[in-house]
């Protein structure tokens, strides 16, 4: 994983000249979004910059242990010299956070479906996480040493996006970057427990609703989460509370899906390649059919429609994709 030297030099020169920096990440943030946002934000502060960090949905409770999480806002305030978006494949993924902003000066990401929407695009699709890119390049971009707070945030991004270093994107180089962050003060046991293991009580009850209506067929396992489910247990997020990681661990399956009803008359879909699948699956190709994107092993989309209609259409597309990969006849639900 190597960035173009001239691009790194350009970004370094631009960051030297600016003072007020806005950093934004995507809606329904995961650990890589939060870790990358806070890691870069704190690093820029260490370099003497005035920084505002923004995520439209705020910081989920399980990532508020990170130093700097208290500084994250839900919308920008004031004027900025430089605007950075981290861990988002396209502008719509940041929600309203870029409203009334003149554009994106720097786009830092690792999603294969990134649209290169920035004036500068540091997009390395072979990176395990956006936080890995930042861990590799922050010292040279900002001429600073990574602090313990920055290391903790970036390790959070790496651990959560690789599900504890368990995805196919993990290489010896990824582990060397993680070791470097430990050497700079990251707390591995805290990050692993807070980022992957610990969940609030309402989230586990929310899982119960999804697990109770889980369905499967050869190669595919899926479930739905409704607005009523969320209200009944008092879960405050708009996501699946990481239930997708449970479904993707089920043996003898290739693809796991969750359909999450949204209050706007839309449905969020998450795809995962199951851990023991022997099929060379790229679920981002399915997600792109519905205006979404992501990685080979993990992708998502959000579409208009009722949950039953969306479930039928998406399952049919997933069946078709898997049937082509396996060289089997397509069997669709009508």
- Domain check: are 135 and 176 in the same one? yes
Q: Closest Cα partner for 102 from 14, 22, 167, 7?
A: 22
pLDDT at 331 over 80: no
Question: Which of 170, 197, 224 is the last residue in one of the domains?
Answer: 197
Tokens 């190709």 belong to 285
- Domain check: are 79 and 104 in the same one? yes
Any domain includes 25: yes
Mean pLDDT, residues 240-258 taken together: 95
| Residue 244 belongs to domain with CATH number | 3.10.310.30
Expressed as residue numbers, the domain containing 144 is 5-197
Any domain includes 332: no
Question: Which of 197, 216, 234 is the last residue in one of the domains?
Answer: 197
- Domain check: are 274 and 240 in the same one? yes
* Reported confidence tier of residue 78, pLDDT bands at 50, 70, 90: confident
- Domain check: are 236 and 111 in the same one? no
Q: In angstroms, how far is the first alpha carbon of the chain from the final one?
A: 44
What is the tens place of the pLDDT at every residue in 15-50?
A: 999 999 999 999 989 999 999 999 999 999 999 999
Any domain includes 167: yes
Q: How many domains does the chain have?
A: 2
Question: Which of 161, 178, 197 is the last residue in one of the domains?
Answer: 197
pLDDT at 133 over 50: yes
Under DSSP, the state recorded for 125 is T
Residues contacting residue 76 through CB under 8 Å, at least 6 positions apart? 22, 24, 52, 54, 97, 101
Residues above pLDDT 90, as percent of the chain: 86
DSSP string, 248-286: TT-TTEEEEEEEEE-TTSEEEEEEEE-TT--S---THHH
Q: Where are the beta strands (DSSP E) in 116-274?
A: 120-123, 215-217, 219-225, 253-261, 266-273
- Domain check: are 148 and 226 in the same one? no
Query: What are the structure tokens assigned to 272, written together?
Result: 């995962």
d(CA 257, CA 295): 14
Residues above pLDDT 70, as percent of the chain: 98
Mean pLDDT, residues 173-183 taken together: 98
Any domain includes 331: no
How many residues are listed for the chain in this entry? 334
d(CA 230, CA 241): 10
Residues contacting residue 200 through CB under 8 Å, at least 6 positions apart? 61, 62, 235
pLDDT at 81 over 70: yes
pLDDT at 88 over 80: yes
- Domain check: are 188 and 218 in the same one? no
* Reported confidence tier of residue 276, pLDDT bands at 50, 70, 90: confident
Furthest-apart CA pair in the chain: how many Å? Answer: 61
pLDDT (0 to 100) of residue 334: 46
Report CA dihedral (189, 193, 196, 197) to the nearest 10 degrees.
140
Under DSSP, the state recorded for 146 is P
Return the sign of the alpha-carbon dihedral for residues 271, 243, 260, 129: negative
Alpha helices by DSSP H, 47-118: none
Any domain includes 145: yes
pLDDT (0 to 100) of residue 270: 96
| Residue 73 belongs to domain with CATH number | 3.90.1640.10
pLDDT (0 to 100) of residue 100: 86
Any domain includes 31: yes
> Considering the entire predicted model, what is its pTM?
0.89
Q: Where are the beta strands (DSSP E) in the chain?
A: 20-24, 50-54, 72-73, 82-86, 106-109, 120-123, 215-217, 219-225, 253-261, 266-273, 293-294, 298-304
CB 128 within 8 A of CB 174: yes
Mean pLDDT, residues 82-108 taken together: 94
Any domain includes 334: no
- Domain check: are 55 and 36 in the same one? yes
- Domain check: are 185 and 268 in the same one? no
d(CA 115, CA 123): 10
d(CA 98, CA 105): 12
pLDDT (0 to 100) of residue 329: 65
- Domain check: are 108 and 231 in the same one? no
Any domain includes 333: no
CB 295 within 8 A of CB 316: no
Mean pLDDT, residues 85-89 taken together: 96
- Domain check: are 153 and 237 in the same one? no
Query: What are the structure tokens assigned to 94, written together?
Result: 């940041």
- Domain check: are 118 and 258 in the same one? no
- Domain check: are 85 and 140 in the same one? yes
What is the tens place of the pLDDT at every residue in 282-303?
A: 999 999 999 998 888 899 999 9
């Amino acid at each position: 994983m190597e960035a173009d030297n001239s691009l790194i030099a350009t970004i370094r020169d631009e960051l030297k000249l600016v003072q007020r920096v806005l950093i934004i990440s995507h809606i329904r943030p995961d650990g890589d979004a939060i870790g990358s946002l806070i890691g870069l934000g704190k690093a820029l502060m260490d370099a003497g910059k005035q920084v505002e960090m923004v995520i439209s949905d705020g910081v989920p409770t399980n990532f508020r242990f990170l130093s700097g999480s208290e500084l994250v806002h839900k919308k920008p305030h004031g004027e900025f010299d430089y605007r950075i978006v981290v861990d988002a494949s396209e502008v719509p993924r940041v929600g309203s956070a870029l409203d009334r902003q003149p554009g994106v000066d720097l786009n830092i990401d690792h999603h294969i479906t990134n649209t290169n929407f920035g004036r500068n695009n540091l997009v390395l699709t072979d990176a395990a996480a956006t936080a890995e890119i930042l861990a590799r390049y922050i010292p040279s971009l900002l001429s600073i040493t990574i602090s313990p707070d920055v290391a903790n945030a970036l390790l959070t991004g790496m651990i959560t996006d690789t599900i504890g270093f368990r995805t196919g994107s993990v290489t010896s180089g990824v582990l060397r970057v993680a070791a470097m962050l430990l050497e700079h003060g990251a707390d591995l046991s805290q990050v692993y427990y807070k980022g992957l293991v610990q969940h609030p009580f309402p989230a586990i009850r929310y899982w119960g609703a999804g697990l109770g209506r889980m369905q499967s067929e050869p190669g595919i396992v899926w479930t739905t989460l409704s607005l009523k489910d969320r209200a009944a247990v008092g879960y405050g997020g708009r996501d699946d509370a990481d239930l997708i990681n449970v479904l993707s661990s089920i043996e003898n399956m290739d693809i796991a899906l969750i359909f999450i009803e949204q209050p706007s008359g839309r449905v969020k879909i998450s795809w995962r390649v199951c851990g023991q699948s022997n099929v060379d699956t790229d679920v981002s190709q399915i997600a792109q059919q519905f205006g979404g994107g992501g990685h080979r092993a993990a992708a998502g989309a959000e579409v208009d429609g009722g949950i039953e209609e969306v479930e039928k259409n998406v399952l049919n597309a997933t069946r078709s994709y898997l049937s082509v990969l396996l060289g089997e006849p397509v069997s669709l639900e009508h």
